């Protein structure tokens, strides 16, 4: 199962008319860009939280055995810390392919450490996409991640690298840290 959003994102054309724009990364984009950028700095978006509720059929899992990766879900009053990149629309082909498994482009305001707020591009997988796995317990998520592997490597690497990158940013994310802690416990008894 895979819901390829590449064409939908290209048709949507968000920010296509800009020479430069900000891109907000909240998952693997925090620690592994893979594209050219002009500037990189921490930022937050308000009203959203990270959750391991999206399936990965093309990177951290397979169509037969999808992994679990993060997406954003609405959460009034919450702040999500991530990494903002100043990019040109030339990176859209790469990003649309990388985020093709259910993620759509959205424009969201981002806040920077200096208090400045600017609109930026964010890829979000919503519950209506075919790769959505949804909510379950921390233990079930960690066990799923422990067993998943795809073309981009073990799902556990994604989860643990994300937790480590958030710790470096001094970001608070109870969900990601709880999944990583349980995952480390499971790996220790393999």
Query: What residue ranges in the chain does DSSP mark as E strands?
Result: 21-25, 39-56, 67-87, 103-112, 117-125, 149-150, 153-154
Give, for all 190 residues of the chain, the pLDDT tens digit: 446 765 654 556 566 666 899 999 999 999 999 999 999 999 999 999 999 999 999 999 999 999 999 999 999 999 999 999 999 988 988 998 899 888 988 999 999 999 999 999 999 999 999 999 999 999 999 999 999 999 999 999 999 999 999 999 999 999 999 999 999 999 999 9
**Contact present, 151 and 107 (Cβ < 8 Å):** no
**Contact present, 39 and 120 (Cβ < 8 Å):** no
Instruction: Give the Cα-Cα-Cα angle 132, 171, 131 (nearest 5 degrees).
Output: 5
Q: What's the predicted TM-score (pTM) here?
A: 0.91
Encoded tokens for 21:
């724009």
Buried b (16+ CB within 10 A) or exposed e, 6-27: beebeeeebbeeeeebbbbbbb
What's residue 173's pLDDT? 98
What's residue 1's pLDDT? 40
- Catalytic, 99? Answer yes
Angle between helix 174-188 and 155-168 (nearest 10): 130
The secondary structure of residue 15, as a DSSP letter, is T
3-state secondary structure at position 137: coil
Helix (H) / strand (E) element for 45: namely: strand 39-56
Q: Which of 7, 16, 99, 130 is catalytic?
A: 99
What's residue 92's pLDDT? 87
Q: Does the 6-188 domain belong in CATH 3.30.70.20? A: no
What's residue 17's pLDDT? 66
What's residue 2's pLDDT? 46
* Residues 167, 134, 47, 19, CA torsion sign: positive
């Amino acid at each position: 199962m895979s819901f390829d959003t590449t064409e939908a994102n290209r048709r949507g054309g968000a920010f296509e008319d800009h020479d430069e724009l900000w891109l907000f990364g909240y998952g693997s984009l925090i620690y592994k860009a893979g594209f050219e950028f002009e500037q990189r700095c921490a930022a937050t978006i308000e009203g959203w939280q990270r959750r391991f509720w999206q399936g990965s059929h093309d990177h951290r899992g397979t169509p037969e055995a999808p992994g679990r990766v993060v997406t954003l879900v609405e959460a009034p009053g919450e702040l999500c810390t991530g990494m903002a990149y100043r990019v040109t629309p030339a990176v859209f082909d790469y990003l649309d392919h990388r985020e093709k498994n259910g993620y759509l482009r959205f424009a969201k305001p981002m806040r920077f450490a200096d208090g400045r707020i600017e609109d930026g591009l964010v890829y979000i997988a919503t519950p209506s996409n075919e790769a959505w796995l949804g909510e379950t317990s921390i233990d079930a998520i960690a066990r799923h991640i422990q067993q998943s592997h795809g073309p981009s490597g073990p799902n556990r690497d994604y989860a643990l690298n994300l937790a480590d990158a958030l710790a470096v940013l001094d970001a608070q994310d109870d969900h990601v840290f709880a999944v990583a802690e349980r995952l480390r416990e499971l790996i220790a008894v393999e």
